Copies of this chain bind each other. A is one copy, B any other.
């Protein structure tokens, strides 16, 4: 197999050579890759300035090496902006690839347990530097695969967020506070969180970098907690995942991580995905994506008692109380419109439902919102199937009793666009079909629920399933306070993050963030997918040491504090040694 790992400070990439070349042991051209539709030019290595036709299929990253997949077929990504297929072919792995990745991950985990956490931290830092060094190429390809704008979205927002998360995870890894050491000196019992073992990360379509399976929040959390990761690329951005994985592998090698700490598969059958989820060599799963796919994977994992952390859909209810509407209804309509249409509504925290109390000002708000939606250009969705899914969801809301105020149609053209859509339903009609009417319409659509009075608003909120977020806007003069006091406790139990006077679309990477919530928003309401160090705990197990001899304890549980580690000793938090 051709050696394609990079070394620190240089860039490398897996070869797009055909199988014959690969089998003959030919070395691939080395250099940067620029994507032009249908062909790839590898211009930067002298003597390799040539076009490579791409009927060959990319290699998978298993056990520290890029190797030809054991595959049953291949797929290409599309450029949503043009509707054209991108040139590269990516393999749909057979079980043999999954099996090999699982064994390599298991072996990597044994190696990782012998290493100081510092090495993982060094990896994350080195990986961040490498992503920045290759930022242009990564964001360009991500743009081709997702139609997200290079500027500002990919290059100035998502990529810096990604490397910042990575560095925060590195710091968490070095500091070790996430292990939450608890020491009972009298009983001789000491406990901390430790790594759980190999984790498979299924990333979503909507953040190719910051939530990407080989670079995003789940990846860095699992890694920082000391676990190997098998990344399953999202099939809408395989190339972006590949570029990232190249840098991850190069960084892993540069710091001496065991081969197989980071692995990448592009796709597999659903059956193999479920078999992977159930395999005893895998310790945990993180999945961000559609409810349908997530619940199928959860069923497979649950059947064998495998921990699975899901982040599924959410409609993120927003309530604007009458006083707030009176104070600044027009501004709020703009704020709401902006939040709904940001990223063409393809955010987990996009507000898919707004509750207003009927009245003149509510009507004015609706009118302004409808005008705003109608006037804004409709963004490109990630895929044609995404457009179909959005259209179906809007139709379901309509059939369940909601009126389409604007939008509700596919836009003409090659790119998958759907007209910005506002639906409306009365509180009574919502209550009559609350299950159907809280179905998520992922994309640039939202539903306004117009209630008769506060009691009906309260009833509407009481029907809600678990959501990631919930917002209540109220007047600054206190006139909405009684309503807030009634509604907030209802909202509180149904959402992970309760906001005041602010739209939910921003998800700060803060230790205090909760990007989580009750089922079906996530599988476990006690954990956040965003925020370090908290997010690491999903990929950890509680490890108790009872009467274990001092020299055998992990460093963080010994009498001597290994640094400035926060530990709970006999009920008090301290950074001191015993």
Contact = CB atoms under 8 A, between A and B. Distances in A.
Q: Which 7 A-B pairs have CB atoms at the shortest separation, nearest pair first?
A: A305-B519, A514-B544, A573-B573, A525-B541, A184-B512, A302-B302, A497-B544
Given A305-B519, A497-B545, A514-B542, 10 more contacts: A110-B489, A182-B512, A189-B513, A191-B514, A299-B302, A299-B303, A305-B520, A306-B519, A307-B525, A488-B552
A33 to B, nearest CB: 38
Interface in A458-486: 469, 484
A382 B523 CA distance: 37
Given A500-B549, A519-B306, A549-B500, A184 B511 contact: yes
Interface stretch (A4-12, A48-56, A192-200, A353-361): A192-200
B502 A547 contact: yes
A148 to B, nearest CB: 24
A191 B526 contact: no
Interface of A: 110, 113, 177, 182-184, 187, 189-191, 193-194, 196-197, 298-299, 302-307, 469, 484, 488-489, 492-493, 496-502, 504, 508, 510-514, 516, 518-520, 523-528, 534, 537, 540-549, 552, 566, 568, 571-573
Contacts of A492: 194, 543
6 contacts: A187-B513, A191-B528, A298-B305, A511-B568, A513-B544, A528-B544
A541 B467 CA distance: 13
A253 to B, nearest CB: 24
A548 B498 contact: yes
A187 B548 contact: no
Given A184-B510, A305-B523, A514-B542, A552 B189 contact: no
Nearest to A544: B514
Nearest to A520: B305
A400 B19 CA distance: 48
Contact of A527 (B534, B542, B573): B542
A515 to B, nearest CB: 9
A194 B504 CA distance: 21
